[in-house]
Amino acid sequence: MLKYILTRLLIFIPTLVAISLLTFIISINTPGDPVDSMLNQSSNTGQSSDKLASEQAYIEQRAKLGLDKPLFYFSFTNATYSDTLYRVHKKSHRETLEKLSFKYGNWPQIANYYSLIKKFENKLFLLTVSEDLAEDFRKLKEFTNSLYTTADEKTASTIISNIDFIVNGDREFIPVRPNFTALQKAIISIVQNQSPHQHYIPKFIWYGLDNQYHNWIFGDEPWFGQKESGKIYMGKGFLRGDFGTSYKDKRPVSSVLWDALQWTVLLSTLSIILAYIVAIPLGIKTAVDKGSKTEKSITATLFMLYSLPNFWIATLLIIFLCGGDYLDLFPPAFSLGKLPESAPFWDRFIDTSHRLILPVFCLTYASFAFISRQMRGGMLNVIEQDFIRTARAKGLKENTVIWKHALRNSLIPIITLFANVFPLAISGSFVIEFIFSIPGVGKLTLEALTARNYPIVYTVLMFTAILTLIGNLVADLLYAFVDPRISFSSGKK
């Protein structure tokens, strides 16, 4: 058994690596810019000082998040790709440069073109024009900004022609003409010096350990030894409990999740305990009384409950049982109580328990039918076997036969279901937590998805995957515990 456990734990390693890689790939390909999300800024077209301040804030925040590093340990690509592209700050700019480089295959000219766009833009922001040219000046800045995201030479040429019309149309734009002339020549140079055959030349780039994936998993702080003096470390890594920073409120993800996890674990634990306490006896009862009116009544009732959507039941319970025009049996369902922390423990316990009755019920009632049917199927399969008939032939009481001999051997389907308990314990219920405004992980994840607060989403995904693996291992161990015929030793079958 110990050898089996160790083997499974070793298998966890490549599985978790695969899951972490998949999560990382999804995270870097999601739409939007996390730095812009945290800074709540868009393209700045104001004064030079505002633009420079915004760019500096962007660069500092990007470095703080560790996004100024390569994505992975290595890259296997073609000769058109630059090994320094990750140093470009804006995600949309990097994507444009990558497309241009792939299309024309001459990175030096493309890098020069990008540099000249920035120089021309900076020169524009230092320019002061009269009110008569304010509209043309605004268009000029918009045209220039659009070059950063234009990867088509024809479209870029059209934009440059529009800029040319404005720049050479009035003497006030004379200071920026030399920069614009250099920009015109740069895009011509890209087309004239293109080398598309670079697509077919393979290229391997090694970035080393200081990359985004490594720092996300292991952190950029040393695991052993002393820190290097003068070096700034941004994070400890997922394996050491640092799950990143929330884009919404800039709090550590671990702190945000911990606040929500307490409620989700409480709700899930109560729901799971209640579901198994009720469903297992009902499953045994329907198996023992197969074909009776009692069995048919229980089955019909459970399947009726199973067919009712929990969001609909939750809404009805709030309307009819939480005050208003109907019964006032429960406190407002949209609150978990407002007693201060200084209030006596039992007062807070009773208040919170009262408010959790409806959410727990809505989380649980649908599982009665499913778990009880699994229990019923397992029990029916066992009570028809020879060792049960032998136990009855010995004169044992029916309760002893059912609860001592048959129950343990019929728990295999229930244990299989129990493996799902672990991930559900932290993932929560999106619908119920949202309807009852319970600040749990389900509600938090839903809000994070809506707000594109991806660090929270990916942390929940990683923990759900880890707990799924743990749940499967625990289920396998429980199989051997309830049924001695199941053994994971190499010498037994």
- What pLDDT shows up at residue 226? 64
- What pLDDT shows up at residue 488? 63
Cβ atoms of 246 and 256 within 8 Å: the answer is yes
**What are the tens digits of pLDDT across the range 318-370?**
888 887 778 888 876 555 656 666 777 777 778 778 888 889 999 898 888 88
Cβ atoms of 453 and 380 within 8 Å: the answer is no
Query: Can you tell me the mean pLDDT for 87-112?
Result: 92
- What pLDDT shows up at residue 332? 61
- What pLDDT shows up at residue 177? 93
Domains, the chain, with CATH or none: 74-203 (no CATH), 207-244 (no CATH), 253-482 (1.10.3720.10)
| Both tokens assigned to 375 | 């229990």
- What pLDDT shows up at residue 266? 87
- What pLDDT shows up at residue 229? 64
**What are the tens digits of pLDDT across the range 194-222?**
998 888 899 999 999 889 999 889 887 77
- What pLDDT shows up at residue 225? 65
Range of weakest confidence among 191-205, 225-239, 368-382, 459-473: 225-239
Q: What HEC string does the chain produce?
A: CHHHHHHHHHHHHHHHHHHHHHHHHHHHCCCCCHHHHHHCCCCCCCCHHHHHHHHHHHHHHHHHCCCCCCCCCEEEEECCCCCCHHHCCCHHHHHHHHHHHHHHCCHHHHHHHHHHHHHHHHHHHCCCCCHHHHHHHHHHHHHHHHHHHCCCHHHHHHHHHHHHHHHCCCHHHHHHHHHHHHHHHHHHHHHHCCCHHHHHCEEEEECCCCCHHHHHHCCCCCCCCCCCCCCCCCCCCHHHCCCCECCCCCCEHHHHHHHHHHHHHHHHHHHHHHHHHHHHHHHHHHHHCCCCHHHHHHHHHHHHHHHCCHHHHHHHHHHHHECCCCCECCCCCCCCCCCCCCCCHHHHHHHHHHHHHHHHHHHHHHHHHHHHHHHHHHHHHHHCCHHHHHHHHCCCCHHHHHHHHHHHHCCHHHHHHHCCHHHHHHHCCHHHHHHCCCCCHHHHHHHHHHCCCHHHHHHHHHHHHHHHHHHHHHHHHHHHHHCCCCCCCCCCC
- What pLDDT shows up at residue 383? 86
Range of weakest confidence among 251-260, 417-426, 430-439: 417-426
* pLDDT of 28 above 50: yes
- What pLDDT shows up at residue 404? 82
**pLDDT band per the 50, 70, 90 thresholds, residue 150:** very high
- What pLDDT shows up at residue 345? 72
- What pLDDT shows up at residue 335? 58
* pLDDT of 26 above 80: yes
Query: Can you tell me the mean pLDDT for 223-227?
Result: 68
* pLDDT of 290 above 50: yes
* pLDDT of 306 above 50: yes
Q: Which residue has the higher pLDDT, 286 or 37?
A: 286
* Percent of the chain clearing pLDDT 70 (strictly above): 91
